[in-house]
Structure 1
Amino acid sequence: MNERFSASGLMNPFFPDEVTFGEKGVTFKVSKLFKSTDNFVFYSDISGVEVDSGMFFSTVRIIPRMRPEIIINNFTKGDAKKVKELILQKVQS
């Protein structure tokens, strides 16, 4: 599968957040100025996905079981919707 989505470069051109889909789970890369955090979550460990849409960009909120939620920012509305659909497809299968 190995699909990858990157956040918009308009809001954070040097350090965009990323979502990478693998065979067994999803990797979420949340970048900051001097560090980044990679979180890998198995599809079976995801209990929910929420998308908060603003006027131009969306925030995707992943709710894993037994871990704090993962928030990735500044995705286009289309990419955020696709990320949610792909995760829910994998979680349900």
Structure 2
Amino acid sequence: MNERFSASTLKNPLMPDEVIFSEKGVTFKERKVLSSTENFVFYNDIAGVEIDSGMFFSTIRIKARAREQEIVIENFAKSDARKIKELILERARH
């Protein structure tokens, strides 16, 4: 059940963003040079998922009901971004 997706290492070879699915929700790990942020969101608390696709990579934007700011994770392969969105929306409906 636990699925994990990592962003491309081309743009950030040492610290790629990650998305980790669990039974109750999803964890988003946003990694920067000097810091990192880890957000866990229950599937039922996800209000929307948007994908911004560039030429090679996609950015995923998660809108959670209880948060003012959206969660942004970057540099995912387009196919991984679509799969992440599909899994989130599928699990949020149940």
When normalised by structure 1's length, the TM-score is 0.98
Partner of 1:79: 80
Moved over 2 A (4+): none
1:5-84 to structure 2, matched below 5 A, reads 5-67=5-67, 68-84=69-85
What do residues 54-89 of structure 1 show as CA deviations (whole Å, max 9, x unaligned)? 100000000000202100000000000000000000
Question: What RMSD in Å do the two structures reach over aligned CA positions?
Answer: 0.5
Structure 2 unaligned spans of 5+: none
Is it true that 1:91 corresponds to 2:92 in the alignment? yes
Shift of residue 34 of structure 1?
1.5
**How many angstroms apart in 2 are the aligned matches of 1:15 and 1:35?**
10
**How many angstroms apart in 1 are the aligned matches of 2:86 and 2:19?**
13
When normalised by structure 2's length, the TM-score is 0.97
The alignment-based identity, stated in percent, is 67
